[in-house]
Each structure stands twice: as structure tokens, then as C-alpha cells.
Chain A
Amino acid sequence: MTPPLLRLTGINKSFGPIDVLHDISLEVNRGEVLCLLGDNGAGKSTLIKILSGVHKPTSGTMEMDGKAVAFDSPRDASDHGIATVHQFGGTFPLMSIGRSFFVGAEPTRRWGPLTIYDRKRANEIAVTEMRQLGITRIDDGDRLVGGLSGGERQALAIARAVHFGASVLILDEPTAALGVKEAAHVLRIVLQARRKGIAVIFITHNVVHALTVGDHFAVLIRGAKAADFRKGEKSREAITDLMAGGEQMAELEAEIESFSAANDRHAPHGASHA
């Protein structure tokens, strides 16, 4: 049996006297979506920061393909094929799509004695990669990233990660700021990434979104792993209950109902320009 692509064993993290993560063990395989669920403050962000090389764990081990790894920096993590996409996707709103797609890895071509940035090729690749993720509205890589909708920015960031050969894709609340229709599109993109054999770690506190795309689920509560189960092993109600506790369940159920209702309506276009 092949070892999982990424395995965390007994990860602890404390900032001074405060224990943020306690004995977290997780694994994620190629072509699998691991959903990391948890309320605010459950330690999801800290765990992502450890995975993406921002923080080092206080104790515990990380393995990729069975080999122990330790990341010195975000750059180091991305060299190991770990790509993190944050809630608002592209962070360079005033750069063109082509330029921001290739930040730090710009394609070049010869121009006489000089080596110049290949704008045409950068734009073509960026637009093509976005099209492959179903974003057909964008046909001009010179457009500014800030003109994209929230979902399109997520798509741009994911397309970038896929293009640069990420093997682990960490999505930090990718649907939290999006309208229903855009969120559905991002979920579809997640499934596409999974089909390409990428291991996706999908952080969310939306149980519906998690159940739609997840193969494997882990629930964090106050820094510890409260549950770890596969698709179909627990009902939505059980997960919601586990995540938020009984008293908030009613509120969440109302939210889920409103999601179902709203999903039949046409989401206003461009409502989520962030």
C-alpha cells in the first residue's frame, strides 16, 4: 500500500503558553478532497499556516509520500508542491490577469539582445487555464484581476496552482465570501482539481459545501480533532451538531434551508465583487 501524499502525525502547536493545536493527525491522498471543518477559532487557520510553511509545528511530524518534510518558509512549502489559495483568491487586484498569474515565474522571450517578459504567452496561458476551469467570460489576459468576481478570482488562483504543478491544494474558505451560484462553480472546480489527481484540503464551515465535494472529513474543535470520518459515514445533521454544538444547530439549519431555496433562484451577477 502506498503511503498517503501528505500525512500529519501528532502535530502540536503552541504560541507561548497557549496551546492552539493538540495532537492533530491527518492524511490526504492523491485525487481526494479532505474537508477540514470547524468553527471560528477551532485552529483551522493555524493548521493551514503549518501546512503552508508560515508556522512550524511545536512537535509532531509531517510526511509527503512517506518522507519526512519540514518547511522553512511558504516558498519552501510551495516548492514541495503545496499551494494555498486564500479566501479572496488573487491578491494583486490592480495587476493584469496574465501578470498576476505568473508573478515570480514570468515567461520570457528573446528580443534582440534582451530577454523580455512574454506578455502574449502569459496572457494566453492564463486565459486558457481559466477556461479549462469553466471561466469562459475572460478572454483578455490584460484585464485587471480586480475586475473579476470573487469566484473568478478563486478560479484564477486555483488555475495558477494547478498550472505550476501543485500536488496539494489548500483552499481556505474559498466559498465563504461568494454568492450561491459562484460557490457552486468553485465547488465544481474543486472536483476538477481532484480529478487531476491533486490532493485538495478544503477548509470551510459550510457543511453543505463540504458534503458536496468531500471524500474525507475532519472536524476541529478547540484545537483538537473531534471526528474523522469518510463520506457517507455521518449525516449532515450529525456533523453540524458536532461542529457547532446543539444550541447553534437551529440557526445553521435555517441557513441550510435558505441555501436550498436560493439555489433555485438566479444569483445576481457580479454581486460578490470583493
Chain B
Amino acid sequence: MTSQAHDQPTVVATALPAPHSSIPSIGRLVRRPEVGSLIGMIAVLVFFSIFGGANFMSAGGAASWLNVASELGIIALPVGLLMIAGHLDLSVGSMIPASSMTIAIISGHYDQPIIVGIVAALGLGLAVGFINGVLVIRTKVPSFVVTLATLFALAGLTLGLSIILSGSTSVALKSGPIAKLVFGDYLGGKFQVTLFWWIAIVLVVGFVLNFSRFGNWILAMGGDAVSARNAGIPTDRVTIALFMSSGLCAAFVGMSQAILYNSAQVAAGQSFIFNSIIAVVIGGVLLTGGYGSVVGIVLGTLTFSIVNQGIFYTGFDANWASLIIGVLLLAAVLMNNTFRTMALTYAPRTKSRVRS
């Protein structure tokens, strides 16, 4: 009985049929990680289209939530990649004002060319990201704690240095027409240019996650960091690179805000900490890592922004927006769990699984 397998070695399936080609189907579509977030976004869009009236659907209405989405989206994308890799970055909340103040103090208070301020602000983002990454890999402390520490440290540093250097917590910035046009202007009087930056970053991050080897490494690290390292993935370098990208993107948003509003405040940006996490989680990224998509993150960002801004177009008190977001977050996570389970369990087309 037990020696049967030994006496009759396996009959290997000879004439191997080519693997099925990728035929799109409903069943296949439902197994995409972003289905839950797509349904969520359509639901809130329909809801606010009905209750928000014509204004919500107008160009001005769309601009109001697209502008919010573009700034949030630029930060949510690298934060999402980090989350897929199994990390969190809370320090973005301080990175935004730190970067705003850097450009405003250098190019506003000290009257240096705007390009110097831009380079310094973005460089600061890369540096903070590098420090976050090195701390996480060297200390093995969870990135939640490490970036919580840098969140506070950077906020304190920004406030302290701003007072020492400029004597104020708010600094004015005059930037030239080119910097204005590229980073901080409204197109057609309504749409922020950051929208185009967001689209560009979506394309870059989408390429990285889906079409580069680096993207596979991110997924593998989030799935199992030890196995990923044993498979030869330079996990330390990937971690540092991801933290540097989230630092860079947060610095970019802070810098473009300073140019857009012609001034910088010390206390801006804290709302981005949780908003970016909410957008990413609504987008179907698994908080513990290993799973997520760029399309999902974009949809999560749009959903969040529609709720956040749409409420102003309805007759409801705007105070209810947070309640809706809270309920939406929970609903989205539950829905995403369901779709993830569906992606894991599927009915095979052929039942002849084991040849005996």
C-alpha cells in the first residue's frame, strides 16, 4: 500500500497545454484587490451627486475635491508602498510644515533664489526619510514608533528653528512666475497644478509596483521580511528607499503649498498623517503589508476627498464628515477583507488535480 508511490513513479502530464490566456471576466475582476475601493468610491460619488446638487457636479465642485485629492494622493502613494512593504510613516505630518518653512525661510525670509529653497526643502525630505529608514533597520523598533518619534522631533525642530531664524511661526514667500506655474498655481482658476504632479507620481509608482523588480521586492518584504532577505532581496536598501520617497513626497507637498499660498505656517499638515493612512487602507492595502495596488490607493484617495469636500455641497452640517469617514473606513476594510478572501479561494476550472 504505502510503497505504491515508490513502485510507480509519477506520471507527469506530458503534452502541457499552454496556460490560459488572461481573459477578463466578472469572476476575475472581482478578485482584483481594488474592487472594494471602486465600489466604495462609486457609492460616495453617487451619494454626493444626489445630495450635493448641481454645484457638486460642476467644474468648481470637482476641483474642490480633486485639489484635496491631489495633495493627499501625492503623499498616500509612497505611504501606501511603505504599508505594502510592512511599514508606516507618520512623520509626513511634520515633514509638510518643515518643508514649507524651509522654503519660506530660505527664499522668503533670507531672499535666496527660489530654486535654492526648493532644493533645500526636497533635500530635507530625503534626509528625514533616510534617517527614518536607517533608524528602522538599525534599531528594529517598529516603524510606527520610529516615525512617531521623528514626527514629534521634526515638529519641535521646525518650531524652534523657525522662531530662532525668522522670529515667527508664519513666514511669507514670494516666488517667481515660473515656480508658481510649475508648483503652485490654479489652472482655469480652479484646478491646482499639483493634480498633474499627482498623475505623474501615480504613473511612476504604478510602474514601480507592477512592472519593476523593485515592486516585487516590496510585495515580498511585506509578505515575509525574513524569507525576502533569504531570497536575496536587499531589504535594508529597499526600506531606506521607501522612507526616502515618502519623505520626498511629503516635502514636495509642503513646498508646493508654500508656493501656492505665498506663505508657510509651522502648524500645517498634521491632518495628513491619518488621512493618508485612511486613503491607503480604503484603497485595499493590507495594514500589515504584503498586499495592495496603486489603483486602489488612487481610488481610496478620491473616496476620502469626495467625502471630505462633498459634505459642504450638501445641506448637512460639515461636522458629520468625520462620522461618514469613520463608517466608510470600517465598511471599506470589511469589504476589502471579503474581496481578498475571494481572491484567495477560487474554484479551479479542472478538477483533475492529482494524477494517480
Known: A102-B216, A140-B20. 11 other contacts (CB 8 A): A78-B230, A78-B232, A92-B224, A94-B290, A103-B216, A103-B217, A105-B232, A134-B12, A136-B352, A136-B353, A263-B2
Q: State whether B343 touches A147 (Cβ < 8 A).
A: yes
Instruction: Please report A residues at the B interface, Cβ cutoff 8 Å.
Output: 73-75, 78, 91-95, 99-100, 102-106, 108, 111, 114-117, 123-124, 127-128, 131-144, 146-147, 181-182, 184-185, 187-189, 191-192, 195, 208, 211-213, 259-260, 263, 269, 273
Q: State whether B216 touches A94 (Cβ < 8 A).
A: no
Give every chain B residue within 8 A of A135 (Cβ-Cβ): 353
Q: State whether A134 touches B354 (Cβ < 8 A).
A: yes
Q: State whether A94 touches B13 (Cβ < 8 A).
A: no
Q: State whether B13 touches A136 (Cβ < 8 A).
A: yes
**Contact A131-B16, Cβ < 8 Å, known A75-B232, A104-B232:** yes
Chain B min CB distance to A82 (Å): 12
Q: What CA separation (Å) do A72 and B172 show in the bound complex?
A: 57
Q: State whether A140 touches B19 (Cβ < 8 A).
A: yes
Asked if B87 is an interface residue, CB under 8 A from chain A, the answer is no
Q: Which of B62-70, B158-166, B190-198, B207-215 contacts A (4 or more CB under 8 A)?
A: B207-215
Chain A min CB distance to B347 (Å): 10
Give every chain A residue within 8 A of B210 (Cβ-Cβ): 117
Q: State whether A260 touches B19 (Cβ < 8 A).
A: no
**Across chains A and B, which 8 residue pairs bring their CB atoms closest together, nearest first?**
A104-B231, A92-B223, A137-B353, A104-B232, A94-B291, A74-B230, A116-B211, A91-B224
Q: State whether B230 touches A136 (Cβ < 8 A).
A: no
Q: What CA separation (Å) do A185 and B17 show in the bound complex?
A: 21
Instruction: Please report B residues at the A interface, Cβ cutoff 8 Å.
Output: 1-3, 5-6, 9-13, 16-20, 22, 207, 210-213, 215-217, 219-220, 223-224, 227-233, 286, 290-291, 340, 343-346, 348-356
Give every chain B residue within 8 A of A269 (Cβ-Cβ): 353
Give every chain A residue within 8 A of B6 (Cβ-Cβ): 191, 212-213
Q: Tell which of A111, A142, A260 has the most Cβ of chain B within 10 Å.
A: A142
Q: What CA separation (Å) do A92 and B225 show in the bound complex?
A: 10
Q: State whether B211 touches A92 (Cβ < 8 A).
A: no
Q: What CA separation (Å) do A127 and B21 show in the bound complex?
A: 12
Q: State whether B9 touches A195 (Cβ < 8 A).
A: yes
Q: State whether B349 touches A139 (Cβ < 8 A).
A: yes
Q: State whether B220 touches A100 (Cβ < 8 A).
A: yes
**Contact A144-B344, Cβ < 8 Å, known A91-B227, A103-B228, A137-B352:** yes
Give every chain A residue within 8 A of B219 (Cβ-Cβ): 92, 94-95, 99
Q: State whether B12 touches A132 (Cβ < 8 A).
A: yes
Q: What CA separation (Å) do A55 and B1 show in the bound complex?
A: 39
The residue that A106 contacts in the complex, of B2, B213, B343, with Cβ under 8 A, is B213
* Chain B residue nearest to A191 in the complex (CB): B9
Give every chain B residue within 8 A of A124 (Cβ-Cβ): 18-19
Give every chain A residue within 8 A of B19 (Cβ-Cβ): 123-124, 127-128, 139-141
Q: What CA separation (Å) do A123 and B232 show in the bound complex?
A: 20
Q: State whether B230 touches A75 (Cβ < 8 A).
A: yes
Chain A min CB distance to B113 (Å): 33
Chain A min CB distance to B282 (Å): 18
Give every chain A residue within 8 A of B18 (Cβ-Cβ): 124
Q: What CA separation (Å) do A75 and B230 show in the bound complex?
A: 5
Q: State whether B20 touches A136 (Cβ < 8 A).
A: no
13 A–B contact pairs at CB < 8 A?
A73-B230, A75-B232, A92-B223, A92-B290, A103-B227, A104-B231, A117-B212, A123-B19, A134-B355, A139-B349, A144-B343, A147-B344, A184-B356
Q: State whether B353 touches A108 (Cβ < 8 A).
A: no
Chain A min CB distance to B61 (Å): 37
Give every chain B residue within 8 A of A146 (Cβ-Cβ): 344
Chain A min CB distance to B284 (Å): 11
Give every chain A residue within 8 A of B348 (Cβ-Cβ): 137-138
Chain B min CB distance to A265 (Å): 13
Chain B min CB distance to A266 (Å): 11
Q: What CA separation (Å) do A187 and B9 show in the bound complex?
A: 10
Q: State whether B232 touches A93 (Cβ < 8 A).
A: no
Give every chain B residue within 8 A of A100 (Cβ-Cβ): 220, 223
Q: State whether A263 touches B1 (Cβ < 8 A).
A: yes
Q: What CA separation (Å) do A108 and B213 show in the bound complex?
A: 8
Q: Tell which of B5, B290, B355 has the most Cβ of chain A within 10 Å.
A: B5
Chain A min CB distance to B24 (Å): 12
Give every chain B residue within 8 A of A92 (Cβ-Cβ): 219-220, 223-224, 227, 290
Chain B min CB distance to A45 (Å): 15
Q: What CA separation (Å) do A189 and B6 show in the bound complex?
A: 11
Give every chain A residue within 8 A of B352 (Cβ-Cβ): 136-137
Chain A min CB distance to B258 (Å): 34
Chain B min CB distance to A180 (Å): 11
* Chain B residue nearest to A132 in the complex (CB): B12
Q: What CA separation (Å) do A146 and B217 show in the bound complex?
A: 18
Chain A min CB distance to B343 (Å): 6
Give every chain B residue within 8 A of A182 (Cβ-Cβ): 354
Q: What CA separation (Å) do A124 and B10 show in the bound complex?
A: 22
Q: State whether B216 touches A93 (Cβ < 8 A).
A: no
Give every chain B residue within 8 A of A211 (Cβ-Cβ): 2
**Contact A136-B232, Cβ < 8 Å, known A144-B343, A147-B344:** no
The residue that B220 contacts in the complex, of A75, A103, A123, A137, with Cβ under 8 A, is A103
Q: State whether A136 touches B213 (Cβ < 8 A).
A: no
Q: What CA separation (Å) do A142 and B32 show in the bound complex?
A: 11
**Contact A139-B350, Cβ < 8 Å, known A94-B286, A99-B216, A213-B6:** yes
Q: What CA separation (Å) do A127 and B349 show in the bound complex?
A: 15
Give every chain B residue within 8 A of A195 (Cβ-Cβ): 9
**Contact A104-B220, Cβ < 8 Å, known A131-B13, A137-B352, A139-B350:** yes
